[in-house]
Chains A and B, each alone.
Chain A
């Protein structure tokens, strides 16, 4: 039962790589948007908020198809990136990372936004009167105090990215070794006769990864909170 085959290993490692890259790329963007949504009032704010949450409410297959239209080889953005920078998303693992990043983005942003909203603005004012420029206030006060929420958002995003299926398979298909993540590998296996044991194995592995991520985030959040408020 626990003889993990090379193909399965490839799917597992690919899932981890895709989810890690998606999370690391999405994090700075997520923090910036969370900050803007938490702190600024501007025209079109609810529109931006709705846009970020769209992948959460759209059918994943729709999001995947939209990504294909935009980032596919003939899509406007996809063609531009391929011609000018040699970056190709279509049917590549980078495309899987893109779709996982997009799908997990609302879950990643939400805790970040809430924790930035909870940061005491009076502390930011205190930093200002001590001579801290706005960007220093952000990096010295706002971000460290919001850290537990930032980490929570990253882990939630990572967990979602690991499990993403619908948008990814629509956008980059299910190519072993290139775009076949744990989820799409399970999907292929349960469609094959005698694939049950292997599918079950991957199911258990994905559960282990998810639980480990949750425990890890819990631990990080507790450490961060302790670092902020205690000795």
Chain B
């Protein structure tokens, strides 16, 4: 379960978000500028809230009143960015292995095989990110986050930088991921159609405030 109750001032923009979700995929929906990325950055630990608390399954990640801030690298929260952010100096296999190495997890060939098959990236392993298409890069980024065995996976408009055709190429992988991977996800998007296909619960964000929380039907409201 993810509990968020935060206040953050970013220049002129003020973000005050309170919500609680329990579901496989929480869709975080809102127009651009609604504060979606700032909110997931705070969940990831990359941005510190001015005030408030964030907890996952009862474990406190942030509590400003008690001066608790677990740094991003200790949170075990996977993050798939809109712009993939693969390491350009490492090949795909090394990119995929990075999270496992950093978290000192035992080598798990079965899991690696499952993820590379799920995302269909087995043939890319010895390539550098510079030689990949946008869709391939995003799939590798997804695999990299999954293989770090996170307790929560944040996906910040992972299809945002792709054209229609590429979106249609990746979406099925995300659906499979939801059904097979058993990792709770927070999926950020400004596209209702995308969220209808993926999300099990929706958090609506508007101008830095949570306006409603509920099933996918809140998207049509």
Which residues of A does B touch, CB under 8 Å?
A: 122-123, 125-134, 136-137, 140-141, 144-145, 227-231
Query: In this assembly, does B130 line the interface, its C-beta being within 8 Å of a C-beta of chain A?
Result: yes
Closest to B147 in A: A130
Asked whether A130 lies within 8 Å of B89 as measured between CB atoms, the reply is no
The stretch from B74-82, B110-118, B159-167 touching chain A is: B74-82
Asked whether A122 lies within 8 Å of B83 as measured between CB atoms, the reply is yes
Residues of A within 8 A of B98 (CB): 127, 130, 132, 140
Cross-chain contact of A128 among B46, B88, B131, B145 (Cβ < 8 A): B46
Residues of B within 8 A of A227 (CB): 89
Residues of B within 8 A of A141 (CB): 87
Asked whether B85 lies within 8 Å of A131 as measured between CB atoms, the reply is no
| Secondary structure type dominating chain A contacts | helix
Query: In this assembly, does B148 line the interface, its C-beta being within 8 Å of a C-beta of chain A?
Result: yes
In order of increasing CB-CB distance, the 3 nearest A-B pairs are A131-B102, A130-B99, A126-B85
A-B contact list, 11 entries, CB within 8 Å: A122-B81, A126-B79, A126-B86, A128-B71, A131-B76, A131-B99, A131-B148, A132-B102, A141-B87, A145-B89, A229-B128
Closest to B105 in A: A131
CA distance A18 to B40 in the complex (A): 53
Which residues of B does A touch, CB under 8 Å?
A: 44-46, 71-79, 81, 83, 85-89, 98-99, 102-103, 127-128, 130-131, 144-145, 148
Asked whether A144 lies within 8 Å of B127 as measured between CB atoms, the reply is no
Closest to A229 in B: B130
Cross-chain contact of A122 among B74, B77, B85, B102 (Cβ < 8 A): B85
Q: A230-B130, A231-B127, A231-B128 are in contact. Are A130 and B85 (CB under 8 A)?
A: no
Asked whether A128 lies within 8 Å of B81 as measured between CB atoms, the reply is no
Q: A145-B89, A230-B128 are in contact. Are A131 and B103 (CB under 8 A)?
A: yes
Closest to B73 in A: A128
Asked whether B131 lies within 8 Å of A231 as measured between CB atoms, the reply is yes
Residues of A within 8 A of B131 (CB): 230-231
Asked whether B78 lies within 8 Å of A127 as measured between CB atoms, the reply is no
Residues of A within 8 A of B85 (CB): 122-123, 125-126
CA distance A32 to B78 in the complex (A): 30
Write the nearest CB–CB distance from A96 to chain B, whole angstroms: 37
Write the nearest CB–CB distance from A153 to chain B, whole angstroms: 19
Closest to A141 in B: B87
Asked whether B87 lies within 8 Å of A127 as measured between CB atoms, the reply is yes
Residues of A within 8 A of B45 (CB): 128-129
Cross-chain contact of B73 among A123, A133, A230 (Cβ < 8 A): A133
Write the nearest CB–CB distance from A50 to chain B, whole angstroms: 32
CA distance A134 to B46 in the complex (A): 12
Cross-chain contact of B88 among A127, A132, A140, A145 (Cβ < 8 A): A145
